[in-house]
Structures are given as structure tokens and as C-alpha cells.
């Protein structure tokens, strides 16, 4: 199988280590995301954004306003509206007026949406576990801890600006 060129393909040892690490992270994230998206499409005829939308609702428990979903997914309101329209037409979500705000709506999973998402989430977790199977538990824990440290550093330096 021919490997596609990725973000790292032009790097050399002469490039700064921080740049090499950054591009390695991007390459890995892209590979995992692409594989998960392909499997969601093939297995459930759905997309990663639709899966993420349903996941946000499942995690919230009580439903979310459209603006909250948009913020959590870091995408525009227009994209969220299109996804919501599709999921609602399929009976996976329901919208109701937000208490105290006639312009806003609260989105919740329907029973059919809860059932469909539960199966997707179960399979998705298995795929992610499989993709990280090349690392033993200590390596996964170490990677998790190092990325947490990087995230704290980036968050702290962002607040200072």
C-alpha cells in the first residue's frame, strides 16, 4: 500500500523538534479522525460532525441550546442548524422552545436518537481502542499525561494575552 504524504513528509532532523512534534501530533490526529469518520460512514451512514452533535446531547443529559452545541463543537451556527435539521427529520432529535427565550430552542435526543447513539458510541469506542492498540497501557497513560501538561501550558499562555 502506498502511504499518502502527510504533514511530516518534508521534515528533516534539521527542523526544530517542537515543529516536528506538532506535525507528528497533527498527522496522528488526522489519521485517527479519518479512520473514525470512514468507519462511521461505512457502518452507520453518518458523519463525524453528526456523531459529535449527538455526543454533545448525550453528555448534556438535559438538552442544549443550539448556541451551546455550536460553541462546544467549535463550528458555526449555520452548520449546526443543517445538522439539526437532518437529525430531526430522521427522528433522532427533537427541538422545543427554550424557557424564557422565544427565539431559542433546546435540542434533546429522542428515544430513537438515544438508542442509535448508544450503538454508535459503543462501536466508536472500540475503534479508538483498536487504533491505540499499538501502545501499551503505560505508553497511553504517559502520552495522556504529557498532552495534559501541554494543554495546561497552552491554556495558561493564552490567558496571558
Q: pLDDT tens digits for 40-92?
A: 999 999 999 999 999 999 999 889 999 999 999 998 888 899 999 999 999 99
Cell triple for residue 103?
Answer: 427565539
User: CATH classification of 17-155, choosing from 3.30.70.20, 1.10.10.10, 3.40.190.10, 3.10.180.10?
Assistant: 1.10.10.10
Residues 8, 20 contacting (CB under 8 angstroms): yes
Cell triple for residue 93?
Answer: 432529535
In the numeric block, the cell 458555526 is attached to: 76
Cell triple for residue 111?
Answer: 428515544
Residue 63: count of CB within 10 angstroms of its CB: 18
Q: 105-151: per-residue pLDDT in tens?
A: 899 999 999 999 999 999 999 999 999 999 999 999 999 999 999 99
pTM of the model: 0.83
At residue 28, the pLDDT reads 95
Q: What are the DSSP calls for the chain, one per residue?
A: -PPPP-TTTT--TTS-HHHHHHHHHHHHHHHHHHHHHHHHHHHHS--HHHHHHHHHHHHHSS-EEHHHHHHHHT--HHHHHHHHHHHHHTTSEEEEEETTEEEEEEEEE-HHHHHHHHHHHHHHHHHHHHHTTTS-HHHHHHHHHHHHHHHHHHHHHHHT-
d(CA 51, CA 36): 10
Amino acid at each position: 500500500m502506498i502511504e499518502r504524504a502527510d504533514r511530516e513528509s518534508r521534515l528533516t532532523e534539521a527542523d526544530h523538534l517542537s515543529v516536528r512534534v506538532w506535525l507528528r501530533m497533527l498527522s496522528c490526529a488526522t489519521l485517527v479522525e479519518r479512520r473514525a469518520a470512514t468507519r462511521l460512514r461505512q457502518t452507520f451512514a453518518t458523519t463525524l460532525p453528526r456523531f459529535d452533535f449527538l455526543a454533545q446531547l448525550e453528555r448534556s443529559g438535559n438538552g442544549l441550546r443550539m448556541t451551546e452545541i455550536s460553541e462546544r463543537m467549535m463550528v458555526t451556527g449555520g452548520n449546526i442548524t443543517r445538522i439539526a435539521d437532518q437529525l430531526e427529520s430522521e427522528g433522532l432529535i427533537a427541538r422545543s422552545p427554550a424557557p424564557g427565550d422565544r427565539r431559542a430552542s433546546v435540542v434533546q435526543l429522542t428515544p430513537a436518537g438515544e438508542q442509535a447513539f448508544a450503538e454508535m458510541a459503543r462501536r466508536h469506542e472500540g475503534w479508538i481502542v483498536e487504533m491505540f492498540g499499538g501502545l501499551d497501557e503505560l505508553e497511553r497513560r504517559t502520552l495522556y499525561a504529557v498532552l495534559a501538561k501541554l494543554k495546561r501550558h497552552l491554556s495558561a499562555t493564552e490567558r496571558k494575552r
